[in-house]
Chains A and B, each alone.
Chain A
Amino acid sequence: MSHAPAQESGTVAPRTGDLVLEVTALTKRFEGLVANHDINFTIPRRSIVSVIGPNGAGKTTLFNQITGFIEPTSGTIVFDGIDVSGLPPHKIVELGMARTYQNIRLFHNMTTLANVLVGHHVRMSAQWWQILFNTPSVQREEEHTDAFAYELLDLVGLSRRYADDLAKNLPYGDQRRLEIARALASRPKLLLLDEPTAGMNPAETRQMTDLIARLRRELGLTVVLIEHDMKVVMGISERITVLDYGELLAEGTPEEIRTNPSVIEAYLGKQATSA
């Protein structure tokens, strides 16, 4: 997509220091089907927020709009004081947002290390003509990026031995870790994780939860995750947003959500049939 930021949406709204994301009246329709309808919520800086809801509730659609994969039908998304609704994904990454995918989407025929290096693309500046002449600045940047990528592999708990293996040959859990390392490589402020613990055993799930907590603690990230595992959701998040039939059903602290009667009715009732 080649959208340049147009004047209108590029206008910088007054910075709301403690909110990293404000979603207002967000609606997405697909050929008659309403995937998201009039969704409003905010995400405080350095918080961990979970988005839950039964299958088909429109959680991934919400993620896709926030990250610019698909354009909202109407409504606004303000990220860190900037209206990003309708910006192309690469611009949004530049502003400091990164994500992972429900079904792991790595660059399969590239090495583990190269996957992380691609993640750092937006923070690099080498242009092709500089690369041809292998200028000192290019060399410095490459060395720098390499070192950074190795640190990230360490951070997410991926062995450096895998650095030169093709991503598609990694075990499943490591592929999830690599996807997070790739996302972190763009030095995001906001990290969106789409079912980070899907398909993991309890031990791996615990490692993942620890990692998410560490990311906030050590890197100061804000993390939003879509998650089905209630233990993870309740254990890690400060706030929970519940979607059902594309609409915002409830929002609040884990305790509020746990006791919210409409959530119990709609969410748990449905889960029994669809899980």
Chain B
Amino acid sequence: MDATMQSTYRRAINAGLIAGVAMIYLASVGLVGAFAERPIIASIGGEGPGLITLGRVMLATPAFLIGLIVAGRIRGTGTGTGASAAAVAALSGAVAGLLFGVFLLLIAAVDVRGVFLPLTPALVETLAFGQEPIVGAIINVLLAGAVAALAALIRLLDGRDRAAVLAAIGIVLLVAMLEPIIRPILGRVELDAVRDFMFTGGGLTLPAAALLAGLVIAYTWSTRHPSSPVRRQLDAVSDERRRQLQIGAAIIGVLIVLAVPFVATGFVSLVLFNVGLYLMLALGLNIVVGYAGLLDLGYVAFFAVGAYAMGVLTSSASSMGGPMSALFGAEWGFWLALPVVLIIAAIVGLLIGAPVLRLRGDYLAIVTLGFGEIARVLVGSEALRPALGGPNGVVGVPNLTIPGFGELTSPGEYYYPVVAFAAFAAYMAWRLSNSRTGRAWMAMREDETVAQATGVNTTNYKLLAFALGGTLGGLAGALFAVQLRTVFPGSFLLIVSITVLAIIILGGMGTIRGVIAGALILVGLPEALREFGEYRFLVYGAALVAMMVLRPEGLFPSKTRRAELHEESDEDKQLGESFQDPDRAAPTATGANA
């Protein structure tokens, strides 16, 4: 065996060990157990939790990923054929499975529930496929090896076909996961036959999964492959016709969005309300972080300001007496209060923005985080109870009344206002992004010093970003207050700020389409899959780390790198000149000007 082969095997085994650790992590942290009852593919006889559950899919993911990676590496070095790549990947997977099998035997023998809560006998039984632990361990080894080998084969497909297969797997998983949403909708629109063909109520049926996968592959292939007749026809479409088709598609998209409350359950409307709320927050934060490059970790403060301002101005709870009634007595209507709320949010944006103008990026982040935390403690404190209701919050916020339509009584009805407001926020972001203002922001994000030397008044544009971002946050807060009809201090935690940040970062920073996708994935999916519960934050954390480690470039300009280049060739370095590195110059400037 030559050295390359040896290193290939060693790497494959290392990869397998890492995947094994990942599998053990997923089981120990409770994710596998939490999703053990969520069916993806229904079992043939309709017995049990399903043929394939989401828990199993999760457990298989590490093996699948290393299969892709190992095969990709072999393909990259060009050292092996398809069969040998699959074999090496299978080895990798089997190593992962072996490690996991040992873990399984261990937790079957020793009760560690006192420390690790999720490692229950029930979990052991699930992981062992209901068999004896030793048999279960062997099954795991074989299965992980098979999954990795399968992944390797997929990786070795030609690029277009690989994309088609991966897309098919993804879509089948997504449709199956969204069963609780799709199934009732199919019933509502009286497609009972389709519904019963696709879903059993305990997962996607096997034929439906196969059909769906086939359709996705056919679609991907026919639209991407240059020699396919569909592709050729698509290419032949004139630009004008294409524009018309795009407009048509957009109209259909809008109609679908508008039709949701008619076909979906109240639950779906509620999920989408939350998605819309976070979308507004994300679009607002995107102005501050994505456009202007100011990392604001206390964005929840604006959400709180909007909600509390709306609550206090409109609440009918004047019966509480004392100094409260003076403030709470206003009992304004929503539409009267809204402009005032937005102005307050904008002013708070300016007040937070002004003192941090000269701070360097990471310090700015921490200061804004401090502001957010101060807001969180203050709104729930006894000290501000007369104004904001302390730990009880503001109650008695009236329902939203739409002129010409009437009062919105059920939470689901707030779907339309949130769509309208989110659309407004998106319009605002879109208009600004490609304008004098947006370009000034982005220039500032790229290189503040040079932006100023190109004529951008950075003070004003920073303040504008804070004010407009704050206004959108306040708008979301106002809507949140009337939908919930109370404002409660527990809604304004640091985690909200971080969730919003995760949405825009997953969305690729700066693009509106990305923000929408981010909100749907990070807010919509976990809300739809209620097993997620708090685990969603685990996913947010992992997503933030993964996004940064895998592709930090493009999200932020590489200031450090450029600064280093500067220093090497900067003729005036010896003279102690520090302005060229804005990161270094900032504290000096602050010291001098404060």
Interface residues of A (CB under 8 A from B): 1-2, 30-31, 33, 35, 55-61, 64, 67-70, 88-90, 93-94, 98-99, 101-103, 105-110, 114, 117-119, 121-122, 124, 126-128, 131-132, 134, 138, 141-142, 182-183, 186, 246
Task: Please measure, in the bound complex, the distance between the C-alpha atom of A89 and the C-alpha atom of B453, giving whole angstroms.
Answer: 5
Whether B439 and A110, one on each chain, are in contact in the complex, defined by CB atoms closer than 8 angstroms, is: yes
Which one, B27-35, B267-275, B440-448, is touching chain A?
A: B440-448
Which A residues touch B449, using CB under 8 A?
A: 69, 105
Chain B contacts with A in 390-439, Cβ cutoff 8 A: 428, 431-432, 435-437, 439
Interface residues of B (CB under 8 A from A): 357, 428, 431-432, 435-437, 439-440, 442-443, 446-447, 449-459, 464, 468, 554, 557-558, 562, 565-566, 569-572, 574-579, 589, 593
Tell me which of B443, B451, B557, B578 has the highest count of chain A C-beta atoms within 10 A of its own C-beta.
B443
Which A residues touch B566, using CB under 8 A?
A: 103
Tell me which of B439, B566, B569, B589 has the highest count of chain A C-beta atoms within 10 A of its own C-beta.
B439
Whether B446 and A56, one on each chain, are in contact in the complex, defined by CB atoms closer than 8 angstroms, is: no
Which A residues touch B562, using CB under 8 A?
A: 103, 105
Whether A2 and B459, one on each chain, are in contact in the complex, defined by CB atoms closer than 8 angstroms, is: yes
Task: Please measure, in the bound complex, the distance between the C-alpha atom of A89 and the C-alpha atom of B436, giving whole angstroms.
Answer: 18
Whether B435 and A60, one on each chain, are in contact in the complex, defined by CB atoms closer than 8 angstroms, is: no
Which A residues touch B453, using CB under 8 A?
A: 67-69, 89-90, 93, 99
Which B residues touch A101, using CB under 8 A?
A: 450
Whether B574 and A56, one on each chain, are in contact in the complex, defined by CB atoms closer than 8 angstroms, is: yes
Whether B452 and A132, one on each chain, are in contact in the complex, defined by CB atoms closer than 8 angstroms, is: no
Are A132 and B428 CB-contacts (below 8 A) given A2-B357, A121-B439? yes
Which B residues touch A33, using CB under 8 A?
A: 575-576
A228 to chain B: closest CB distance in Å?
A: 9
Whether B446 and A131, one on each chain, are in contact in the complex, defined by CB atoms closer than 8 angstroms, is: no
Which A residues touch B357, using CB under 8 A?
A: 2
Which B residues touch A88, using CB under 8 A?
A: 452, 457
Whether A118 and B435, one on each chain, are in contact in the complex, defined by CB atoms closer than 8 angstroms, is: no
Are A60 and B437 CB-contacts (below 8 A) given A1-B459, A2-B459? no
Whether B464 and A56, one on each chain, are in contact in the complex, defined by CB atoms closer than 8 angstroms, is: no
Whether A1 and B452, one on each chain, are in contact in the complex, defined by CB atoms closer than 8 angstroms, is: yes
Task: Please measure, in the bound complex, the distance between the C-alpha atom of A126 and the C-alpha atom of B438, giving whole angstroms.
Answer: 11
Residue of A nearest to B424 (CB): A132
Tell me which of B464, B565, B579 has the highest count of chain A C-beta atoms within 10 A of its own C-beta.
B579
Task: Please measure, in the bound complex, the distance between the C-alpha atom of A242 and the C-alpha atom of B454, giving whole angstroms.
Answer: 27
B560 to chain A: closest CB distance in Å?
A: 13
B309 to chain A: closest CB distance in Å?
A: 22
A105 interface neighbour in B432, B447, B464, B578, Cβ under 8 Å:
B447
Which B residues touch A67, using CB under 8 A?
A: 453
Whether A128 and B432, one on each chain, are in contact in the complex, defined by CB atoms closer than 8 angstroms, is: yes
Are A134 and B436 CB-contacts (below 8 A) given A58-B572, A110-B443? no
Task: Please measure, in the bound complex, the distance between the C-alpha atom of A186 and the C-alpha atom of B452, giving whole angstroms.
Answer: 12
Task: Please measure, in the bound complex, the distance between the C-alpha atom of A122 and the C-alpha atom of B451, giving whole angstroms.
Answer: 11
B593 to chain A: closest CB distance in Å?
A: 8
Whether B439 and A90, one on each chain, are in contact in the complex, defined by CB atoms closer than 8 angstroms, is: no
Whether A109 and B446, one on each chain, are in contact in the complex, defined by CB atoms closer than 8 angstroms, is: yes
Task: Please measure, in the bound complex, the distance between the C-alpha atom of A110 and the C-alpha atom of B450, giving whole angstroms.
Answer: 14
Q: List, sorted by A's number, 10 A–B pairs whose CB atoms are closer than 8 Å.
A: A69-B579, A90-B453, A101-B450, A102-B570, A103-B566, A107-B557, A118-B443, A121-B436, A132-B431, A186-B454
Residue of A nearest to B463 (CB): A2
Task: Please measure, in the bound complex, the distance between the C-alpha atom of A30 and the C-alpha atom of B577, giving whole angstroms.
Answer: 7
Are A90 and B468 CB-contacts (below 8 A) given A56-B572, A109-B557, A138-B435? no
Are A121 and B454 CB-contacts (below 8 A) given A60-B572, A126-B437? yes
Are A119 and B571 CB-contacts (below 8 A) given A69-B579, A126-B435, A142-B435? no
9 pairs of A and B residues whose beta carbons are closest in the complex: A122-B455, A93-B455, A107-B446, A30-B576, A2-B459, A89-B453, A131-B435, A35-B575, A55-B571
Whether B575 and A56, one on each chain, are in contact in the complex, defined by CB atoms closer than 8 angstroms, is: yes
Residue of B nearest to A35 (CB): B575
Whether B570 and A132, one on each chain, are in contact in the complex, defined by CB atoms closer than 8 angstroms, is: no
Whether A131 and B432, one on each chain, are in contact in the complex, defined by CB atoms closer than 8 angstroms, is: yes
B569 interface neighbour in A30, A31, A89, A102, Cβ under 8 Å:
A102
Whether A107 and B442, one on each chain, are in contact in the complex, defined by CB atoms closer than 8 angstroms, is: yes
Which B residues touch A61, using CB under 8 A?
A: 572, 575, 577
Which A residues touch B557, using CB under 8 A?
A: 107-109
A200 to chain B: closest CB distance in Å?
A: 15
Which A residues touch B593, using CB under 8 A?
A: 1
Task: Please measure, in the bound complex, the distance between the C-alpha atom of A122 and the C-alpha atom of B478, giving whole angstroms.
Answer: 36
Whether A109 and B554, one on each chain, are in contact in the complex, defined by CB atoms closer than 8 angstroms, is: yes
A253 to chain B: closest CB distance in Å?
A: 25
A64 interface neighbour in B431, B442, B554, B579, Cβ under 8 Å:
B579
B479 to chain A: closest CB distance in Å?
A: 20
Tell me which of A108, A119, A121, A134 has the highest count of chain B C-beta atoms within 10 A of its own C-beta.
A121
Residue of B nearest to A62 (CB): B572
Residue of B nearest to A141 (CB): B436
A118 to chain B: closest CB distance in Å?
A: 5
Whether B437 and A131, one on each chain, are in contact in the complex, defined by CB atoms closer than 8 angstroms, is: yes
Task: Please measure, in the bound complex, the distance between the C-alpha atom of A168 and the C-alpha atom of B593, giving whole angstroms.
Answer: 34
